[in-house]
Structure 1
């Protein structure tokens, strides 16, 4: 694994969620964006595991750091599958998309 050239900011996601859940309407808003938050989290983990900065990913994708930042920000926009494939390739991953049947009530 490549050595990180930057120090990630410490972030306790569970503590963040516990505090945010106290706000009115948070649960509904969070559930509406659950898939986006999950994808953003996976993207950040993959980039960190690859030891890459947003600049490095942007260079590999042929785009800008700000575009990568927008990709990694849940709920800001919906990237195309082609863009997600390019991001995955840039961080040394394959993109998998699947449909899962809902559990009947």
Structure 2
């Protein structure tokens, strides 16, 4: 819990910081393990951006709520819940896209 006296203090970040992190084999392994999840999330955001839609507009087209879309977009990064193929297809169609899954 954040106390009133606690203030937001951004942490400075540089290219050298990245180099140090990626030099750590454990960090690189953990980062690489998330590659597919972040690629999928990026595809969702890109589709919505290209369609010029907000989360609320996608929700209306899909017949759901904005909070459900928010959960969908954040669930890609979570082990607690994975969206169904049907949900991903509806999201794609709402953005004027076709869902295509490739294994490479």
What TM-score results when the alignment is normalised by the length of structure 1?
0.68
Change (3 A) 1:29 1:45: same
Contact in 1 for aligned 2:21/2:28 (Cα 8 Å): no
Work out the number of aligned pairs and report it.
85
Give the gaps of 5 or more residues in structure 2. 1-13
Deviation, structure 1 residue 88: 0.2
Alignment correspondent of 1:60: 61
User: Is residue 51 of structure 2 the alignment partner of residue 47 of structure 1?
Assistant: no
| Runs of 4+ with deviation above 6 angstroms | none
Q: Which has the larger radius of gyration?
A: 2
2:89 pairs with 85, 90, 105, which one? 85
Question: TM-score, length-normalised on structure 2?
Answer: 0.68
In the other structure, the counterpart of 1:12 is none
Which of the pair is proportionally richer in helix?
A: 2
How far the C-alpha of 1:84 sits from its partner, in A, is 0.4
Aligned-pair CA distance for 1:67: 1.3
- Tell me how far 1:33 sits from its aligned partner: 1.9
Pair 1:75 & 2:77 matched? yes
Give a deviation string over 1:36-82, Cα, whole Å, max 9, x none.
Answer: 11010011011011110000001111111111112212312311100
Could you say which residue in structure 2 is the equivalent of 1:94? 98
Higher RCO (CA < 8 A, seq sep 6+): 1
